[in-house]
Homo-oligomer: A and B are copies of this chain.
Amino acid sequence: MNDTHRLLLAHRSIRKFTTDPVTDDQVRDIVACGQAAATSSNIQAVTVIRVRDGAKRARLAELAGNQPYVASAGAFLVFCADLNRARLAAEAQGGTFCEGMTEHFILATVDVALAAQNCVVAAEAMGLGICYIGALRNNPQAVSELLDLPRLVYPVFGLCLGHPAQDPEVKPRLPQAAMLGEDTYPAEGMLERIREYDAELHEYYARRGGGTKDSNWSLEMKGVVGKEARPHMRAFLAERGFTMK
């Protein structure tokens, strides 16, 4: 264990920020660290839009289900999966773009997440706090129009960055035995491990919320996977050129 490990293990989402600014130099360095992440076939399929404009920030906060920190955080970045830049480059060389491959969609989405997580580590190493905003996918069409995203680009998530004005506890994770297998999928005992984690998370919620939140992981998952999730995504992506052949 060294300082970097302690930094990674101390991660928690921050949703309250001071008014201290995030500087241009900080954003440049954070994004440079993001770019340094591995990228499949060097495609570098990530584009970051830093949103400064107050009206756009307010609109994004609203589109993300009224999350006020989207508007108020020191900086807000939108991470986009981008195949448009590779298309431009290929076509400038007399090549074509083979549209609609599921594989290209995966590759671009993974590239974005790898880069974003490096940005997060870089930001936290500066003492900043962060919060991913997956809710940009609530209305990705409106987000795309607001930021003039071309075809073959889609907003994967947002990222709030700022100086923390809160110090929440780190949330416990699944026991490693429930998510790390050796040579095979760790099916054996998985339900027991989930029950152990349910008990741990129940206690965490009771402690953190002053006894007001009565939940556990299984109950959370019942909500998360038990119903349709953003059912517009398929058609939205197809319309942007990600037709998933």
- Give the contacts of A128-145 with B (CB-CB under 8 A): 130, 132, 134, 137
Tell me which of A15-23, A64-72, A224-232 binds B.
A224-232
Identify A56's interface contact among B5, B42, B49, B183, CB under 8 A. B183
> Is B52 within 8 A of A38, CB to CB?
no
Among B13, B94, B187, the residue within 8 A (CB) of A148 is B187
Question: Total interface residues on A, using CB and 8 Å?
Answer: 118
A194 surroundings in chain B (CB, below 8 A): 85, 88-89, 92
Residues of A in contact with B (beta carbons under 8 Å apart): 1-5, 7-11, 13, 28-29, 31-33, 35-38, 40-44, 46-53, 56, 80, 82-83, 85-90, 92-98, 101-104, 106-107, 109-110, 112-114, 116-118, 120-122, 125-126, 130, 132, 134, 137, 147-150, 153, 156-157, 170-171, 173-174, 176, 178-187, 190-191, 194, 198, 217-222, 224-231, 233-234, 237, 244-245
